[in-house]
Structure 1
Amino acid sequence: MSASKSGGIQAKLHCSREKRGAEQRLLDDLRWAGVEWDEGPIVGGPHGPYKQSDRNEIYQHHARELLDSEAAYRCFCTPQTAGQGTAAYVTSGCYQDCASLPLEQAQEKAERKDPFTVRLKLPSPHEAKKRIYPDLIYGKITPLKRSPTAVAASTSAAAAEGGDSGGIDAADTILVKSDGTPTYHFANVVDDHLMDITHVIRGTEWMASTPLHYDLYHAFGWKPPAFAHVGLLVDENKAKLSKRNSDLALDITSMRDDLGVLPQTLVNFLTLLGWSNPTRDDVMDLKELIQNFDLKFTKGNTMVRTEKLWYLQKHHVARLCQGVLNGETKSHETLLAVAKSVASEVTATYPDFEKSLALEYEARSNEARRISNTDQNPTTPNSLEIRNKFLGRPFDGLSHPSPRLNLYCYNLLQADSKSFQNATQYVTRNRYFFHFDPAEVPAVPETFGKEKPIPRQDLETLTEKFLTFDFARLPSDPSGEARTAFSEGHRSGENQAVLPWFEIDAIRIHAALDAVVEGDKETKNAMMRFLRLKLAYGLPGPSIGVVMAVLGWRESCRRLGVEVVGGDADAEGGGVRGWEGVAKSVGSGE
């Protein structure tokens, strides 16, 4: 976020323990998350190479600079074993006072191929006491007691008092190993300087190393970047977060492929951890995060709670749905991928659903074509054209190349756009759209309403009256919302925001309900509750009009106990016309 607001993003690979395929996987994960680097692997740039193992010549050159300036020295000490028996351990400190070895003599030993490491010299006691190590979040960093700089300062104090410092030898600070490999600290400082890095933002586990990094910049005579250390991520037990948490797999592959977490959700979630968001809205895409980002982080570690992840996921899917209505191609593509994950879960849970869906879509396609052939008003929002405009392709051709189930789930995501967390949760929440079990329908009360109790029998009578309502009597757009939205998009010739077909049908359904209950608000509320119990197990979800539109007229009749006894829903001139025409051929079911 910080780099995107300033000079751009650089990607560099540290590959000391590279596993096969790990490099490409890291780059793929970054791009999946929407992070595109301005220079680095693949794209190149002026500061390459961008792989640490390819920069060894650069590190050797800068190590020689420090040796020539006597800011560092060659140490020819070999590891020793200290202690006895099981208490023995290997030490790698300098025990031969190699720092005092004349430069020419050290050079001669190196030319004889004597193994050596390159170590950083301690600052003088006077210099060590003057140095400060600022941090943008924590203020001033105090060196650890056993760090080389702290040792130098304590040595000075002990000498002034005529005592022993009891510290460690500064030779413990190795810059280049005996095999010529640079340490992480040395390579990092050299790379950051040569790559014009202005800010180093990292976890607090690196705070103890920061004085050493400042000392390296001082040894080279370079201006150090600004350092900012952010708290570690911990679990609910306050333990450092591991790859696999107690309730959530935290590797990107699992979050993306198994849990269906969207890239914008994950980036949003991670950025908020420990950050003092200056806005009131936590839901932001990458562009908004970059715009609002600053380095105001809380001190201390941050506990990761996954509840926020699912909260953000719901809101980002809702944004996608709105983007689809606004004609945004990227939103359509992303939402279609989400729909496919839902469809896969439906197939695994309800394997017979797609077969019944094929029959329903065939019937609806025939009806849509019939309406299109008889509709003389090109701006009528119930025409096939508005369905095509909303869906972006012919309504009766949506099964190719995508399966009908993908489209059904795509529509459902827009119908219930604010509740998606992951495919499993979403299918469970909306199970009544995929499978109906009469045994799951709650017991229907004998009366509905408190102030004016309405008997169940009255609601059953009104329901049958509603299902036999002549929908053709309604205006094509009772509320005017669909006509206005469609007309504006039609005139502009662009895919502007248009009400989905199920919202248009829902408007007509609610208008018919108003007509049946004759505008009585309490009766309509009772009807809504009764219909939700019978159609959707009484579960929360989209409006009852949308539920009935998505289920379709015939399925709604079946669940409400009203049997279609005459006419052919698909035949030209038949009695059944669903939510758009007459619906007379019904009778009471068992």
Structure 2
Amino acid sequence: MSASKSGGIQAKLHCSREKRAEQRLLDDLRWAGVEWDEGPIVGGPHGPYKQSERNGIYQQHARELLDSEAAYRCFCTPQTAGQGTAAYVTSGCYQDCASLPLEQAQEKAEKKDPFTVRLKLPPPHEAKKRVYPDLIYGKITPLKRSPTAVAASASAAAAEGGDSGGIDAADTILVKSDGTPTYHFANVVDDHLMDITHVIRGTEWMASTPLHYDLYHAFGWKPPAFAHVGLLVDENKAKLSKRNSDLALDITSMRDELGVLPQTLVNFLTLLGWSNPTRDDVMDLKELIQNFDLKFTKGNTMVRTEKLWYLQKHHVARLCQGVLNGETESHETLLTVAKSLASEVTATYPDFEKSLASEYEARSDEARRVSNTDQNPTIQNHLEVRSKFLGRPFDRLSHPSPRLNLYCYNLLQADSKSYQNATQYVTRNRYFFHFDPTEVPAVPETFGKEKTIPRQDLETLTKKFLTFDFAHLPSSDPSGEARTAFLEGNQPEGRAMPWFEINAIRIHAALDAVVEGDKETKNAMMRFLRLKLAYGLPGPSIGVVMAVLGWRESCRRLGVEVVGGDADAEGGIVRGWEGVAKLVGSGE
């Protein structure tokens, strides 16, 4: 965030045992939206950008410290010391190698005597004057470590595959006996040569910071500003591991298994420990860069996954709004989410795609049957319109399930504020993919608060509503203009309106007409319809639910049989809210 505001982003790879691990790291950064101005692949003026390819640079700077006598060659080998039954390895200089004349040390090195390069500790009187500032914690106090503590630290670092760098009460090792630099030495040299101005890292590196300041002092370089942020811990205040108890924390798992969006993850990670100056926690990368500062809380940060899913819901809702605003990037990202959702639907309800195909075929037959005689051009455009969304053709829906992908894309728009991941969303909205009459709750015999409305009256009104001629909605129908603009491919000024919202308006207008404006009766009908159509579960408005399910499926769930046929209007054909003619009869 800070780099994006100043000199740009540099990427550098530390040593890795696997080429694939390096590529995966770079791929993960790009997936998260992090593009570097210089580094691996893109190149730049400060290369090479892989630590293992910079050894000549480290050797050159080690010689500079040796020549200035800020460092010395140590020819001591590690010793094992016993203390009772315990033993530990001492890595300090026990032969006073710092006092060797430079020429003598050079001669031993030329004879191939193994040696390390150590940084000379500053004299005590000078060390007391040195200050080690930190942007978050103020001043850092150097730690004094006993040999036992050093051995324990080195052992722990080795167990994790890390590099303790020999930080102890003795002079610190900068270059190992095999000629490779310690992390601390390479880090300081690289940061200086790459013009790094700020070093932001976890508090576990605070103990190393005085050493890094001392290295800058030894070279005569101006140090960067240091800022240390708290460690991430779980609810038991234990440091997070790669795979926590309730959440996989590696990017591959979060992306592929949990379906976390890149903007969600970046938003979530940035907020950890950060004192956000705005009132809104939901931000994309551009907004985070704009608002970011280095005001972090002191101490460790507890990671709660509830926040992750809160942000995910809001970012998906933003994508849906972006689609309505005509944003191509939002459309592409939401389509990716829809495909993930479609895969989960297929895994959970394998028969749904087949039933969806049958529904589309039935609608196509109905549209063809009436298109030759009906003078309403919207009927002929109906199926073509449903294969688009706000005029956007779905060119990428051919694999593997175009109809199911489109259905899920529409559903995400219809219920845009509840998506966490595909599994959760399918569970929440299961009535859109599968209907089991045994799950329908018992319907009360009466409804209403201010007056009693018998269930039988609501069933009669429901039948009247389903046989309502939507071609003759009241002239005050607010959906007419929006529907016409949508079918003609025009986007009205302001917020665009998807087809299911237009149909939902028509549905509610028809309900108002059927109940003759009685709000109490309409509310009772809404509750009755939600029980029968959606198990009484929360979700989009009942008008949107019916629009997405479609007229035929709504009739089936409400016990009204779709008979079919070519009868005229007097013979029973009615016009549903989708704009095609259907024949209905009692399902009893």
**What is the CA-CA distance between 1:87 and the residue it aligns to?**
1.9
Q: 1:368 to 1:104 in 2, by over 3 A?
A: farther
Distance 2:472 2:401 in 1: 36
In the other structure, the counterpart of 1:46 is: 45
What is the TM-score with the length of structure 2 in the denominator? 0.90
Q: 1:366 to 1:327 in 2, by over 3 A?
A: farther
Distance 1:588 1:161 in 2: 71
Q: Is the 8 A contact 2:229 2:296 kept in 1?
A: yes
Distance 1:157 1:420 in 2: 42
Q: Deviations over 1:312-361 (max 9, x none)?
A: 00011111111112221211111111111111111111111111100111
Q: Is the 8 A contact 2:165 2:184 kept in 1?
A: no
Q: SS at 2:488's partner residue?
A: helix
Q: 1:438 to 1:528 in 2, by over 3 A?
A: same
Q: Is the 8 A contact 1:11 1:39 kept in 2?
A: yes
Q: Deviations over 1:59-117 (max 9, x none)?
A: 00000000000000000111112116742322111000011111111111111111100
Q: SS at 1:427's partner residue?
A: helix
Moved more, 557-566 or 580-589: 580-589
Q: 1:19 to 1:317 in 2, by over 3 A?
A: same
**What is the CA-CA distance between 1:483 and the residue it aligns to?**
5.2
Q: 1:149 to 1:11 in 2, by over 3 A?
A: farther
Q: SS at 1:348's partner residue?
A: helix
**What is the CA-CA distance between 1:571 and the residue it aligns to?**
14
**What is the CA-CA distance between 1:367 and the residue it aligns to?**
5.1
Answering whether residue 37 of structure 2 is matched by residue 76 of structure 1, we say no
Q: Deviations over 1:204-257 (max 9, x none)?
A: 000010000000000000000000000000000000000011111111111100
Distance 1:112 1:82 in 2: 28
Q: Is the 8 A contact 2:367 2:379 kept in 1?
A: no
Q: Is the 8 A contact 2:11 2:36 kept in 1?
A: yes
Q: Is the 8 A contact 1:381 1:483 kept in 2?
A: no
Q: Deviations over 1:392-435 (max 9, x none)?
A: 45699966775211111111111111100011110011110111
Moved more, 573-582 or 369-378: 369-378
Distance 1:273 1:238 in 2: 14
Q: CA RMSD in A?
A: 5.9
Q: SS at 1:164's partner residue?
A: coil
Distance 2:355 2:251 in 1: 36
* Structure-to-structure mapping, 1:48-447, within 5 angstroms: 48-83=47-82, 86-146=85-145, 171-366=170-365, 387=386, 390-392=389-391, 403-447=402-446
Aligned length: 586
Q: 1:575 aligns with which of 570, 573, 581?
A: 573
Distance 1:11 1:109 in 2: 38
Q: Is the 8 A contact 1:327 1:496 kept in 2?
A: no
Moved more, 358-367 or 181-190: 358-367
Q: Is the 8 A contact 1:575 1:582 kept in 2?
A: no
Q: Is the 8 A contact 1:384 1:395 kept in 2?
A: no
**What is the CA-CA distance between 1:522 and the residue it aligns to?**
0.7
Q: Is the 8 A contact 2:385 2:487 kept in 1?
A: no
In the other structure, the counterpart of 1:489 is: 489
Moved more, 247-256 or 395-404: 395-404
Q: 1:569 to 1:293 in 2, by over 3 A?
A: farther
**What is the CA-CA distance between 1:365 and the residue it aligns to?**
4.0
Q: 1:219 to 1:130 in 2, by over 3 A?
A: same
**What is the CA-CA distance between 1:586 and the residue it aligns to?**
2.2
Q: SS at 1:445's partner residue?
A: coil
Q: Is the 8 A contact 1:567 1:576 kept in 2?
A: no
Distance 1:365 1:396 in 2: 20
Q: 1:101 to 1:435 in 2, by over 3 A?
A: same
In the other structure, the counterpart of 2:504 is: 506
Moved more, 149-158 or 245-254: 149-158
Q: 1:381 to 1:251 in 2, by over 3 A?
A: farther
**What is the CA-CA distance between 1:374 and the residue it aligns to?**
7.8
Structure 2 stretches lacking a partner, 5+ long: none
Q: Is the 8 A contact 2:370 2:580 kept in 1?
A: no
Q: Is the 8 A contact 2:371 2:379 kept in 1?
A: no
Q: 1:396 to 1:451 in 2, by over 3 A?
A: farther
**What is the CA-CA distance between 1:362 and the residue it aligns to?**
2.2
Distance 2:239 2:484 in 1: 55
Q: 1:541 to 1:345 in 2, by over 3 A?
A: same
What is the TM-score with the length of structure 1 in the denominator? 0.90
Percentage identity across aligned positions?
Answer: 94
Q: 1:273 to 1:158 in 2, by over 3 A?
A: closer
Q: SS at 1:170's partner residue?
A: coil
Distance 1:165 1:538 in 2: 60
Q: Is the 8 A contact 2:8 2:37 kept in 1?
A: yes
Distance 2:461 2:512 in 1: 11
Q: 1:67 to 1:538 in 2, by over 3 A?
A: same
Q: Deviations over 1:108-147 (max 9, x none)?
A: 1111111100000011111101000000000111111239
Q: 1:85 to 1:361 in 2, by over 3 A?
A: same
Distance 1:396 1:52 in 2: 44
**What is the CA-CA distance between 1:565 and the residue it aligns to?**
3.2
Q: Is the 8 A contact 2:344 2:422 kept in 1?
A: yes
**What is the CA-CA distance between 1:371 and the residue it aligns to?**
8.1
Q: Is the 8 A contact 2:166 2:173 kept in 1?
A: no
Q: Is the 8 A contact 2:82 2:88 kept in 1?
A: yes
Q: Deviations over 1:534-564 (max 9, x none)?
A: 0000001111111111111111111111112
Distance 2:458 2:160 in 1: 97
Moved more, 151-160 or 328-337: 151-160
Q: Is the 8 A contact 2:477 2:509 kept in 1?
A: no
Q: 1:315 to 1:571 in 2, by over 3 A?
A: farther
Moved more, 279-288 or 560-569: 560-569
Q: 1:126 to 1:3 in 2, by over 3 A?
A: same
Q: 1:147 to 1:573 in 2, by over 3 A?
A: farther
**What is the CA-CA distance between 1:588 and the residue it aligns to?**
2.2
Q: Is the 8 A contact 2:74 2:117 kept in 1?
A: yes
Moved more, 152-161 or 342-351: 152-161
**What is the CA-CA distance between 1:576 and the residue it aligns to?**
4.9
Q: 1:514 to 1:220 in 2, by over 3 A?
A: same
Q: 1:154 to 1:102 in 2, by over 3 A?
A: farther
Structure 1 stretches lacking a partner, 5+ long: none
Q: Is the 8 A contact 2:479 2:502 kept in 1?
A: no
Q: Deviations over 1:423-454 (max 9, x none)?
A: 11100111101110000000001111111121
Q: Is the 8 A contact 1:78 1:92 kept in 2?
A: yes
Answering whether residue 560 of structure 2 is matched by residue 562 of structure 1, we say yes
**What is the CA-CA distance between 1:486 and the residue it aligns to?**
4.6
**What is the CA-CA distance between 1:479 and the residue it aligns to?**
4.0
Q: Is the 8 A contact 2:555 2:561 kept in 1?
A: yes
Q: 1:209 to 1:305 in 2, by over 3 A?
A: same
Distance 2:494 2:372 in 1: 23
**What is the CA-CA distance between 1:459 and the residue it aligns to?**
0.4
Q: Is the 8 A contact 1:324 1:331 kept in 2?
A: yes
Distance 1:452 1:396 in 2: 53
Distance 1:312 1:335 in 2: 15
Distance 1:102 1:416 in 2: 78
**What is the CA-CA distance between 1:301 and the residue it aligns to?**
0.2
Moved more, 548-557 or 299-308: 548-557
